[in-house]
Structure 1
Amino acid sequence: MFYDTQENAHGLPHDPFKAIVSPRPIGWIGTRGKDGSVNLAPYSFFNAISDHPKMVMFSSSGRKDTLRNVEETRVFTTSMVGRALTEKMNISSANAPYGESEFDFSGLTMAESQLINAPFVAEAHAALECKVTEIFEAKSLEGEPSGSFVVIGQVVGIHIDEAALVNGRFDMAIVAPLARLGYMDYADAAQTFELRRPAWPLDK
């Protein structure tokens, strides 16, 4: 099948776009507002975009509390969501009023960053401390605003749970990172395999 996205005439019960662009890592974004209130929210439009320097991005569909906070403070954290934290991550996605702490009503322990003024999830196997480099609203082909706001941050500090390190490597079997699929579906990466990139010329 083929469908034109401008017409959105896929004829299916649900739009398959986010199922096709999957799995997507979940950015569990921790922020603090100028008033001192804290916020924790999961974003599935999230990924790493650079290694030198280390940079990540997330996108907010609409103006949400997280966006307000990063605009005010220009910093955020992202905590890794392992399979064991799935339910608490889901609770933290509730549309709570501004100022309500998702750490509190999700039953999570709030940890403080070393280099920035933003909290992260103490139970997470890893967390990144980030300083904002850009915030912009994505535009369509026609130049129209999309209502989706892209936040890019440079990673200035990394926290790692030493229990997740095996032979000097961050062990995916222990961490079992959660990924967002389409619809209401999720998956974890508890089962992994190694695949090395081939050299050129290819070995025949």
Structure 2
Amino acid sequence: MHYAPDDRTLPHNPLKAIVAPRPIGWISAMSRAGKLNLAPYSFFNAVGDDMVAFSSTGRKDAMTFAEEGGDFVCNLATYDLREQMNASSAPLPRGESEFDFAGLTTAPSRKVRAPRVAEAAAALECRWLQTVPLVPLDGGEAANFLVIGQVVSIYIDDRFVVDGLVDTAAMQPIQRGGYFDYFKVGPDAKFAMQRPKGAGDYTSR
């Protein structure tokens, strides 16, 4: 079959089920006035060796607070924190803390003003670089915005550093699928392949 956004052949747009599983950017940000926001974004990824980006539909608090404060933190969403991550997506009044609502605690960051989730196994401290409005094909007003940050410091729980390498599988990060689906990473989901010569750093681990 073929599907287009204006079709009625499927009850839901399948894009999120196909571009999956997607890493979750669990973004904490602080407004200029010191208000906190914590929210999960599944349109998130690394976009360079030291840069990450997340996409916001509408000008939500995570985006506006990152712009106001000049920074944000991407906390690792893991299986043991799945319920708290989900709770932090609730539409609270602007400035009401999702940390408190989800039963989480804050921990101070090293190089940015926004705090990290103290319970998270890892966190990327980012300086806000820019917000790019994603203008649609018809040239209308942008509904989606790409927020880009540069990673300036990384927190990792010492339990997950083995022989100088991060044990990603042991942290059990969760990822977003379509509909209400999530996936988790575990030791049995990991495999390794060396890159062929000439395709970048093929000896890299």
TM-score relative to the length of structure 1:
0.92
Structure 1 distance, partners of 2:76, 2:65, is 20
Alpha-carbon distance between aligned partners in 2 of 1:70 and 1:157, rounded to the nearest angstrom? 16
Match in the other structure for 1:111: 107
Amino acid of the structure 1 residue aligned with 2:17: A
Q: Tell me the residue number matched to 1:3.
A: 3
Which position in structure 1 is the counterpart of 2:194?
A: 196
Aligned-pair distance for 1:167?
A: 2.3
Amino acid aligned to 2:113: N
Match of 2:119 among 118, 123, 137: 123
The residue number in structure 2 matching 1:99 is 95
Compute the displacement of 1:182 (Å).
0.6
Match 1:154 to one of 150, 156, 171: 150
**Number of the residue aligned with 1:12:** 10
Name the stretch that deviates more: 8-17 or 192-201: 192-201
Distance 1:173 1:3 in 2: 35
1:179-190 pair list within 5 angstroms: 179-190=175-186
The one-letter amino acid paired with 1:35 is: A
Asked whether the 8 Å contact 1:135–1:149 carries over to 2, the reply is yes
| TM-score when normalising by structure 2 | 0.91
Which letter maps to 1:80?
L
Q: How does 1:77-96 map to 2 (within 5 A)?
A: 77-96=73-92
How much has 1:23 moved relative to structure 2? Answer: 1.0
User: How big is the shift at 1:200?
Assistant: 6.2
CA distance in 2, matches of 1:166, 1:32: 33
Q: Does 1:168 align with 2:145?
A: no
Identity %: 49
Contact 1:172 1:192 in 2 (8 A): no
Aligned to 2:54: 58
The residue that corresponds to 1:42 in the other structure is 40
2:30 to 29, 32, 38: 32
Amino acid at match of 1:178: I
The residue aligned with 1:145 is: 141
Instruction: State the shift of 1:192 in Å.
Output: 1.2
Q: Tell me the CA shift for residue 134 of structure 1.
A: 1.1
Q: What are structure 1's unaligned runs of at least 5 residues?
A: none
What amino acid is the match of 2:135? K
Alpha-carbon displacement from aligned partner over 1:81-102 (angstroms, at most 9, x marks no partner): 1111101000111000112111
Aligned length: 197
2:73 alignment partner, SS class: strand
Deviates more, 1:25-34 or 1:135-144: 135-144
Residue 34 (structure 1) shift: 1.4
How far the C-alpha of 1:114 sits from its partner, in A, is 1.0
| 168-177 or 178-187, larger mean C-alpha shift | 168-177
